[in-house]
Amino acid sequence: MLTSAILLGPQRHVRIVKPALDALVPDDRRPVALASPGWEEREAEDMEFRDHVGREVVNLEVWARVERIFERDRELLAAMRERHDTLRRVQELYRLRLQGALQAIRELMGRPGKDVWLAAERHDALVMLQGIDAQHVARVQQVHEEFEARWRPAERSSVQREKRELQQRLGDCAALCLAGGHIAVLLHRLRLFDVLGLHGDRPVVAWSAGAMALCERIVLFHDSPPQGGGCTEVMEAGFGRVPDLVALPHAKKRVDVSEPRNVQLFARRFAPSLCVLLDDGSRIDWNGARWSAQPGTHRLGEEGWVEEAGA
């Protein structure tokens, strides 16, 4: 676990990384590291970020490093593609059971009545749903473990070379800034170099997908997608560097908070973790012992309402 981290909402319109850095490393003149592999080929386009933070910035170029590794190490590229296909399959299979379980619990929650039998069914359906999520996380973990055991990416020279350079860049940085973007790309590329491990216990400011990656579980969500029914699903375990929180970036656009049962189910499914809505201007701070949210940062409440996250 980190001793200090700040999670933020999207930074395109309301930029608050600078005050977050100022709060975590106020008088530190050392550079800050930027990891933005989730931006993929736009990773190097960091001028707006540099202008905003007004500090020396070291771009770790995580995405580009992995691209270089793929060019040199075709075997690893093929192995990672195969893992990608396996993960997609595991996710699809999980989704089949998940959809049935969600349908059942939604129906149970929609039934009128307060009798013990209905309450018992609702409780058991929720436990089953949480169990399906947990089993999925374990299966994905198994995929990663088998991949690591077979291909030992950290021991490959192609990876070691880039990792050494990355470690040097990260060396004296005061803090790490973890940007958003494509969550799977971000997670898997950071993991390849163990960026969080190299960074150690120095402070982290993370936003959008970056914030999701720091948490114990990565939850994918959209209540009104153009295709399908919008079943919230767990992707896999995150880095687990901050506890008891599910980060939900762009929540205003993605979560239907007008429907209390939807809010209630979301919150209860991931309890005791807090489901925090990371919209423009949202900020929640971790000090190694507890969370404290800035006013205006909200969470999904187990009673079905959106509440101040600091309440």
Residues binding another protein (CB under 8 A): 10, 12-13, 38-39, 41-42, 180-184, 208-209, 212, 220, 222, 225-227, 235, 249-250, 253
Which of 143, 53, 169, 156 shows the shortest CA–CA distance to 91? 143
Number of neighbouring beta carbons within 10 Å of residue 168 = 10
Q: Shortest gap between Cβ of 29 and another protein (angstroms)?
A: 30
Burial of 50 (0-12, 13-18, 19+ CB in 10 A): middle
Minimum Å gap between C-beta 117 and another protein is 36
- For residue 85, the minimal CB distance to another protein (Å) is 15
Residue 153 or 180 having the CB closest to another protein: 180
Least separation, in Å, of the C-beta of 140 and another protein?
14
Nearer to another protein among residue 25 and residue 215 (C-beta):
215
Q: For residue 270, what are the contacts with CB-CB under 8 A and spacing of at least 6?
A: 217, 219, 246
Nearer to another protein, 31 or 37 (CB): 37
Q: Which residue's CB is nearer to another protein, number 18 or number 95? A: 95
Q: Please state the closest distance from residue 182 (CB atom) to another protein, in A.
A: 5
Contacts of 15 (CB under 8 A, 6+ apart): 52
Q: Which is nearer to another protein, 30 or 52 (CB)?
A: 52
Cβ(196)–Cβ(73) below 8 Å: no
What is d(CA 5, CA 201) in angstroms, rounded to the nearest whole number? Answer: 10
